[in-house]
Amino acid sequence: MIAFIPGLISGLALIVAIGAQNAFVIRQGLTRKHVLFVVFICALSDAMLIAAGTAGLGQLIKSFPTLLEIIRWFGVLYLSWFGFKSLANALKSQSLTIADKAEVSKKNVLIAALGFTFLNPHVYLDTVILLGSLANQWASDKWFFATGAMVASIAWFSFIGFASRFASRFMTAAKFWKILDTVIALVMFTLALTLALYDF
């Protein structure tokens, strides 16, 4: 528990922020479509990255800065594309409802969830390098720290996914969806710009 609790706190400190992954989970929760699937994919992906960092992948990534550069520009393109897509949804003149928003296949949801996770270099910095480095400071107890960080990820994605799903029944007005998509577009564009200018 001495290592588990710091891992839990560290994981929450890094994941509780408005980012592309969180915005996607919230939006998917509000559409009430494939919520459990999205929560599972995002939490599992984070857990795999935390485990990889704890096992030493962070040092390997540090030795190949070109890899982060490649991921960076794929991430910029992906976030920009999703931002334009969200903006286009916000500008549609027809009425938007939860039913309209829910028309998305599980395959597309999987691709989007994996994109927001693995095409964002900040995810590698936070999970593989930072949490991995912190975990390794606990020596023989490093996997207890890593488990705490993984539990934080599972708890957070479950909370925002299912809390959003519950709240969706009160948010059926077209104006709400236009505002939500506009906010998500701004988040994506801001993250894309930040990613493009970030000094790794």
Identify the residue whose tokens are 């990889």.
52
According to the model, what pLDDT value does residue 143 have?
92
pLDDT, tens only, 125-181: 788 888 888 888 888 888 999 999 999 999 999 998 898 888 776 666 667 778 878
Identify the residue whose tokens are 């990613």.
195
CA dihedral 148, 150, 153, 159 (to 10 degrees): -70
Average pLDDT per block of 10 residues along the chain, 200 residues long: 85 76 85 89 93 83 74 82 83 54 75 86 80 85 92 92 80 72 84 77
| Token reading at 183 | 């906010």
pTM here? 0.75
According to the model, what pLDDT value does residue 43 have?
93
According to the model, what pLDDT value does residue 78 have?
82
Cβ contact 71:116 at 8 Å: no
Write down the mean pLDDT value for the chain.
81
Cβ contact 148:5 at 8 Å: yes
